[in-house]
Structure 1
Amino acid sequence: MIFEMTIQVRVQDIRKGKKWYQTLFNREPDFIPHEGFAEWEIISGCWLQVAEGTPSEASGTLRLGVTDIEGERERLVRDLNIDNFDIYSRDQVPVKWGTFIDPWGNRLGFFEYLNKTEQEERIKTIVGN
């Protein structure tokens, strides 16, 4: 039975990485077990680990669900100087999405459900409200 998930990205400078991801998530890390490492519980049971080390160029995109992708893009452009964050949609795909890159080359992104009723149901299922 799988009940939790973690994904790790690496940054060359943990101090800068921690600050960048704090701005991305609008909050301090939830757990700092040792030097060179910080973790955020993004949603219940889903953790992002930021570790000091050599970033992996071949890693896939970590894409996070948001309720307002345009607003989030504006915030990241303003607060993190993200300059390449296009938003896409495609027929038959129930979300619009965009990808951006952190300063260490890790690919991140957001997606937003087009159907707001479906979005609210997903939030209720995941968050339990």
Structure 2
Amino acid sequence: MVFEVTIQIRVSDFKKGQSWYQTLLKRKPDFTPHKGFAEWEVIPGCWLQVAEGIPSEGSGPIRFGVSNLEQERDRLFKELSLEKFEIFEREGVPAKWGTFKDPWGNQLGFFEYSDENKKQEKICNGHQTSC
């Protein structure tokens, strides 16, 4: 039985990488057990590990669910100097999404549920306990 998930991505400059991901996730890591390694519990039981090393080509994207995709895209444009990435929607798909890369080529992205009730349900079951 699987009960937790860890996802690891590598960056060639750890100090810059940790700072970049702190800005992306809006907080410092939850766990830094040794030099060149940091972990964030993104949602309960799901950990994002950033490790110093050679980035893997062609992996990803890792997409994070957000409550407002356009707002997050604009924030990254300002805070991380990302180019504004395209937002996609497709009939029959209950979410819109966008993909971008970190400075080391790791593919990341955001998605937002189209249905407001579904979005609120997911948010309430995540880190926020009062809805």
CA distances 1:35-79 after superposition (whole Å, capped 9, x unpaired): 000001101111000000000002121000000000000000000
CA distances 1:98-128 after superposition (whole Å, capped 9, x unpaired): 0000000000000000001011112233447
Q: Point out where structure 1 has 5 or more consecutive residues left out of the alignment.
A: none
- Verify: 1:2 aligned to 2:9, yes or no: no
Q: Point out where structure 2 has 5 or more consecutive residues left out of the alignment.
A: none
In 1, Cα distance between equivalents of 2:109 and 2:17: 17
Q: CA RMSD in A?
A: 1.1
TM-score by length of 1: 0.96
User: Does the CA contact (< 8 Å) of 2:74 and 2:84 recur in 1?
Assistant: no
TM-score by length of 2: 0.94
- Matched with 1:32 is 32
CA distances 1:74-105 after superposition (whole Å, capped 9, x unpaired): 00000001114111100000000000000000
Identity of aligned residues (%): 58
Runs of 4 or more off by more than 6 Å in structure 1?
none
SS in 1 for 2:19: helix
Aligned length: 129
